[in-house]
Amino acid sequence: MSPTFSELSAGQEIGSRTLEVSRTDLVKYAGASGDFNPIHWNEAFATGVELPGVIAHGMFTMGAVVQLVTDWAGDPAAVMDFQTRFTKPVVVTDTTGTADAGATIEVTGTIGKLDAEARTARVDLTVTAAGQKVLMKAQAVVRVS
């Protein structure tokens, strides 16, 4: 059910989600996006360029976390804008042969601001992995009925 403007208030939480990411997810994303940079799949290469290990694509991370907002809005087209700053990489460890995720991303969304004239809500996302904020100023502007 889509939210209505009258039932929203600044500071209201819209929900939270835990995302489990594997290296297989990164390889699939590389195929879909055409971004085959070895920092996203090759441990030796990633550490050789002084990264802490294989890291998730930035656009993969953005797309995965904004899903919380699109699900809450009930319509992906209601998201009018989404912006963020990358602060830390999401390191995805090798879990070959196990059922474990290589990284866990925690996402929480909160109404940051309402615009009654435009009938929009700014949703602020808190995004962490391994206990560190990986995105800053992650904000989506959503059209609300």
pLDDT single digits (tens) 12-70: 999 999 999 999 999 999 999 999 999 999 999 999 999 999 999 999 999 999 999 99
Q: Give 10-72 as a DSSP string.
A: TT-EEEEEEEEE-HHHHHHHHHHH----GGGT-HHHHHHTT-SS-B--HHHHHHHHHHHHHHH
What whole-number distance in Å separates Cα of residue 74 and Cα of residue 57? 26
Entry pTM: 0.93
Residue 85 has what pLDDT?
98
What whole-number distance in Å separates Cα of residue 42 and Cα of residue 70? 32
Counted domains in the chain: 1
83-111 per-position pLDDT tens digit: 999 999 999 999 877 767 799 999 999 99
Name, in order, each residue with C-beta under 8 angstroms of 133's C-beta and a sequence gap of 6 or more.
87, 88, 126, 127
Give residue 138's domain range. 5-143
CATH of the domain at 131: 3.10.129.10
Select from 108, 99, 105, 93 the least CA-distant residue to 134.
Answer: 105
